[in-house]
Amino acid sequence: MPGYELFGASERKHVNDVMETGILMRYGFDGPRKGIWKAKELEQAICTAFGAKHAQLVSSGTAALTTALSALGIGYGDEVIMPSFTFVASFEAVLSVGAVPVLVDVDDSLTLDPAAVRKAITKQTKCIMPVHMCGSMADLDALQAICKEHKLLLLEDACQSIGAQYKGKYVGTIGDAGTFSFDFVKTITCAEGGVVLTNNEDVYVKSDGYSDHGHDHLGVDRGADLHPFIGYNYRISELHAAVGLAQVERLQEFLSIQRKNHGALKAILSQVPEISFRRIHDVAGDSCTFLSWFLPTQELTEAVVAELKAQNILAGNFYWFHNNWHYISKWDHLKESLTLNALHPDLKAAVIHHATKDFSASDAIMSRVISSSISLLWTEAQIKERGEKIVAAVKKVLASQKAAV
């Protein structure tokens, strides 16, 4: 899955370009940098690669979400509908702008259930934020229709699905804004970094300023920049951008390997009748960073996870239902609204309310799914060995349960 698996000469060259100038900051120092502007180059390369009009690089995917939410005007009193299965950064970003994260159920695509979204809409709803989890995409047709009907913003958290497409368009470029994360384990990486994508020039201009202390970046002298609004320091460094520039040039190479290895592993797991696979809203557009597969019951799934662990082959296979980072069942800090800085009492009450709702529909999905990450480095023999070990573990558990009946 992650681009770091194939670091090579290109990454070293771009980083060395920056090191030779000694200018590691993305803004200013025009003369000493000798024409080296890796962040600017990467932003243009991202626009070209993904078909977005504008790209604003920032320091992380979390910073990208926070910047995009602010640029879209989302803040105090606004509700943002998002899935119960995501990374904690999604709700952290919403809270950081003073808005309310309204978590709702996912379906067997492991993304927002449009029916659950409809039920959650109130007068305070301002944005729907689908999270394209594990390399695949949400039902964007249905969500766009809801947004149009209710005059809501659509912000795509595409941090986990770089390179996935929905009906010919890259996820992250379809809504009012979208975000990627370029952290160390993403399909393409800057080591740390993120980007706001948008086709709306106003959103781009605001993202550009917000991520750099409100600088308007209109002059040739950074010290003379005006500040139309308050911003924050979410800048990416030239070193991180240099790594990303090498990686984005290899995106299609990475995706091709992922899809080949994903298909090979899926073919092996398909031999077990009890295994089914996640629903993909656009199969051709799956980036294939993960192969997500279901077993019929929670009991069987947990037994298989235990068996994989006992055989020391659980690594790379994720049971999200008991994962601290990605599913509502383990987010006690959100359920109790545990923050270092005091939240407004109304916001705190809203956070607790929405985090402690009934998520049994999501539980029924997430308690039965295992996601196997796809490595770019696997050989055919390694895929065969890995798949056969998983199949053997599943069959062992099935046989044990049948014998117990």
* 281 and 216 co-located in one domain: no
Model confidence pLDDT, tens digit, residues 344-389: 999 999 999 999 999 999 999 999 999 999 999 999 999 999 999 9
How many structural domains comprise the chain?
2
* 166 and 227 co-located in one domain: yes
Is-catalytic flag, 186? yes
Element (H, E) at 180: strand 177-181
Q: Which residues contact 399 (CB under 8 A, 6 or more apart)?
A: none
* 172 and 270 co-located in one domain: no
pLDDT at 106 over 70: yes
DSSP code per residue over 135-166: G----HHHHHHHHHHHT-EEEEE-TT-TT-EE
Write the CATH number for 376. 3.90.1150.10
Domain-embedded: residue 171: yes
Write the CATH number for 74. 3.40.640.10
The Cα 281–Cα 284 span in angstroms is 9
Domain-embedded: residue 216: yes
* 315 and 204 co-located in one domain: no
Give pLDDT, residue 371: 98
Q: Which of 13, 126, 167, 186 is catalytic?
A: 186
Domain-embedded: residue 348: no
Domain that holds residue 226: 3-251
Q: How confident is the model at residue 140 (pLDDT cuts 50, 70, 90)?
A: very high
For 79, 182, 241, the CA distances from 58, given in Å and listed in that order, are: 24, 10, 10
* 392 and 275 co-located in one domain: yes
* 146 and 186 co-located in one domain: yes
**Ranges 60-64, 212-216, 219-223, 330-334: which has the least confidence:** 219-223
* 121 and 111 co-located in one domain: yes
* 237 and 198 co-located in one domain: yes
Give pLDDT, residue 405: 65
Model confidence pLDDT, tens digit, residues 216-241: 999 888 888 999 999 999 999 999 99
